Structure 1
Amino acid sequence: MEYPDNKPRRKRVQREEIGGQMLTDSIIGEIDRLDAIGEQAGRTAEKYRQIFDDLKGYELRVDTAALDAKEKEFATALEKQVKQIRAATRTVRAALWLMIVVLFLVFAVGYCYLDTHPWKAKYFQLEQQYNQLQQEMQKLTVKKPAKKKK
């Protein structure tokens, strides 16, 4: 069987051997890489062990006087902020209650005004006239006889 590009083809056995050799080389390369990583990890672990051994000899001392001063400063600043927030909260609450009271007063005054004002009687009078006109219109429509077709 001939191929269109006329390149010499390797036999299947040769291709399998080359593939096996490439796979072997790849596995060996990966093993070498993992060995190098393991050696680096060992060196890193040794460095950390030396650092920790060096640190065992040190004693840690902290100056708490500076921390106490900062704590007092922070506490006073926090108290000031709390007072400001409480004052603002009281102001907002007072404003809301004032708005509620004003709204209630507006409705109360409006109700009293509408209830006692003379236009209410005029409205009832106009409503009665409208109802009477509606009744008269109904009576007229009932009285008219329907025209008969010939």
Structure 2
Amino acid sequence: MMSSDCDYERADVVGLDEKQKPKVNVVDDKDYLVVTIQSKDRPKLLFDTEYHIRLIDGSPVKSDTGRQKLIRCLESAIERRVSEGVKLELSATDRVGPLYDVTRIFRENNLTITRSEVRTRAGKAVDTFYVPDASGHPVDERTIDSIRQAIGQAILHVNGLS
């Protein structure tokens, strides 16, 4: 584990109570550390369930300072990924080109799409997008208003996420 690889920057997630925050525990067990992470489940939280974490020289992390650093890195990484953004749902008559228009408007407003669901039913397109700003922070009200004006008030429904 290299210092430059660690990222302690935490997400500034509004409304996250103590039960939703990740908990990381590190315990010595023989010649290795057992790292236990408890967090609200969500897609892609942990790709693998077993990791071998060693210092750059190949030795295990044994110091309290190293353990605390490991804990801060893991907690920060999980917290940054808690919010998928604001849920924006568009409902309109199906036609050619609306996805291009919508993604262009999102890009022009510095938004990132973290997840989307696109459906068509009985000639009606229902597209759901989860969008934080380009830095991963919640979208501000002014940006939402700008998107509503560009897309159309009647077809855009906004729901906040935690």
TM-score using structure 1 length: 0.16
Pick the structure with more strand per residue: 2
Larger Rg: 1
TM-score using structure 2 length: 0.15
Return the structure number with greater relative CO, CA threshold 8 A, min gap 6. 2
